Amino acid sequence: MEERQVIVAMSGGVDSSTSAALLQEDGWEVAGVHFLLPCSPRVRLERVERVRRIADHLRVPLDLVELDKVFTEKVIRPFLEGYLAGVTPNPCVVCNEVIKFEYLVRAAVDRGFHFIATGHYARIQQDNGVHQLLRGLDQGKEQSYFLHRLTQGQISRIVFPLGHLRKDEVRVLAAGRNLPVPSGSESQEICFIPGDDYRSFLQSETGMGAAKKGDILTREGEKVGEHTGPHRYTIGQRHGLGIASSRPYYVMEIRAEENRIIVGRKEDLYSTRVEARDACWISGNPPAETRALLGQVRYRHKAAPGRLQVLPDGNLIFEFNDPQWAITPGQALVIYQGEQVVGGGWITERANVER
């Protein structure tokens, strides 16, 4: 059996700090690593000082790893390109796949450790030599959706100390251990965007050209308004369209290449079919059974039953038993079998909307 040595990704928040403390109390030799990501000098200093206070409190060694350039190239740039192309990216899924767990494993190897840990609300279990990823028990917080692109090599190393806990329990545990984390603190939705204002971030990063105005059309081609840049809209958006109508319109499509927004009524956004590309599977292979599965099309979406079809090119089609609302290109389609994550792919630019 591997030595009980683990390196913990420490952000300075309550979840990762409590994870490190629980592992330490359980007899693990714990070391911390903090990834330095793009942000202002002031924010970086605050983050480093906070995580150092936590590491000192726990008396664990802490390494700082500079990931500014690789994070910009692999996460921020695709995020910007996605929005400008008319899709709604999910940078947290991308980060977990190409940054967080990739470099956490590297940090563990550098220190001579086998295991890695984070504060994610998810669970790992082993079945016949295959490591399975399961939902966390706190259904309001669980984060398995963001982890569906991890490999067996990564999952076999992971420890999730919080997977069996609720968020309120974690706060109590942190307080009882006098961890120096801000009371009630939560991580930002997107860590590299100040104030979670993605529209301002896009504007500042891409320039005024991103605010090019264009037409808002119904799916029949009738002009009903004018938009202020395709990047400012998401599928299912109702507010901020500026359309005078007795019934509300919702964004149905974002045609960035045409500089047009297509709108429809709420019922027009329901679909039973979703297509996805670039599939990956937790076990390394597609599921043998394709009927008794659930599909989840965004983080807060309630996974719904349907049938999976895996195409020869690796793309996916998932047919829901009942229509789902506002399926959004750029988000992840994650496939579950009960509580177990099977795998998933990226929702493509055109979901078939029922007419």
pLDDT band at 286 (very low <50, low <70, confident <90, very high): very high
What is the per-residue pLDDT for 190?
82
CATH number given to 5-194: 3.40.50.620
What is the per-residue pLDDT for 117?
98
Cα end-to-end span (Å), the chain: 57
CATH 2.40.30.10 is the classification of domain 268-347:
yes
User: Is 39 one of the catalytic residues?
Assistant: no
Stretch 103-125: mean pLDDT: 97
Q: With 50 as the cut, is the pLDDT of residue 249 above it?
A: yes
Q: What is the 3-state secondary structure (H, E, C) of the chain?
A: CCCCEEEEECCCCHHHHHHHHHHHHCCCEEEEEEEECCCCHHHHHHHHHHHHHHHHHHCCCEEEEECHHHHHHHHHHHHHHHHHCCCCCCHHHHHHHHHHHHHHHHHHHHHCCCEEECCCCEEEEEECCEEEEEECCCCCCCCHHHHCCCCHHHHCCEECCCCCCCHHHHHHHHHHCCCCCCCCCCCCCCCCCHHHCHHHHHHHHHCHHHHCCEEEEECCCCEEEEECCHHHCCCCCCCCCCCCCCCCCEEEEEEHHHCEEEEECHHHHEEEEEEEEEEEECCCCCCCCCCCEEEECCCCCCCEEEEEEECCCCCEEEEEEEEEECCCCCCEEEEEECCEEEEEEEECCCCCCCC
Stretch 4-15: mean pLDDT: 96
Longest dimension (CA), the chain: 67
- pLDDT one-digit tens code per residue, 215-231: 999 999 999 999 988 88
Q: With 90 as the cut, is the pLDDT of residue 291 above it?
A: no
Domain positions in the chain are 5-194, 212-264, 268-347
pLDDT band at 1 (very low <50, low <70, confident <90, very high): very low
What is the per-residue pLDDT for 231?
87
- pLDDT one-digit tens code per residue, 20-67: 999 999 999 999 999 999 999 999 999 999 999 999 999 999 999 999
pLDDT above 90 coverage of the chain, percent: 82
Q: With 70 as the cut, is the pLDDT of residue 353 above it?
A: no
Q: Using only the alpha carbons of the chain, give its radius of gyration.
A: 22
> Among all chains, which residue has been given the structure tokens 């979670």?
196
Stretch 263-270: mean pLDDT: 95
What is the per-residue pLDDT for 128?
87
- pLDDT one-digit tens code per residue, 156-214: 999 999 999 999 999 999 999 999 998 755 555 688 888 788 888 888 887 755 567 89
What is the per-residue pLDDT for 349?
60
Question: 255: exposed, middle or buried (C-beta count within 10 Å: 0-12, 13-18, 19+)?
Answer: middle
**C-beta separation of 141 from 166 below 8 A:** yes
> Among all chains, which residue has been given the structure tokens 């202002």?
40
Other beta carbons within 10 angstroms of residue 319's beta carbon come to 13
Q: Which of 39, 92, 191, 280 is catalytic?
A: 191
User: Is 92 one of the catalytic residues?
Assistant: no
**Angle at CA 43, nearest 5°, toward 38 and 47?**
95
What does the alpha-carbon distance between residue 330 and residue 349 come to, in Å, rounded to a whole number? Answer: 7
What is the per-residue pLDDT for 212?
78
What is the per-residue pLDDT for 355?
46
Other beta carbons within 10 angstroms of residue 284's beta carbon come to 11
What does the alpha-carbon distance between residue 53 and residue 217 come to, in Å, rounded to a whole number? Answer: 54
What is the per-residue pLDDT for 268?
94
Q: Which of 39, 92, 95, 280 is catalytic?
A: 95
Under CATH, domain 212-264 is a member of which superfamily? Answer: Adenine nucleotide alpha hydrolases-like domains (2.30.30.280)
What is the per-residue pLDDT for 332?
97
**C-beta separation of 34 from 48 below 8 A:** yes
pLDDT above 70 coverage of the chain, percent: 95
What is the per-residue pLDDT for 210?
54
More reliable by pLDDT, 295 or 86: 295
Mean of all residue pLDDT scores within the chain: 92
- pLDDT one-digit tens code per residue, 297-340: 999 999 999 999 999 888 999 999 999 999 999 999 999 999 99
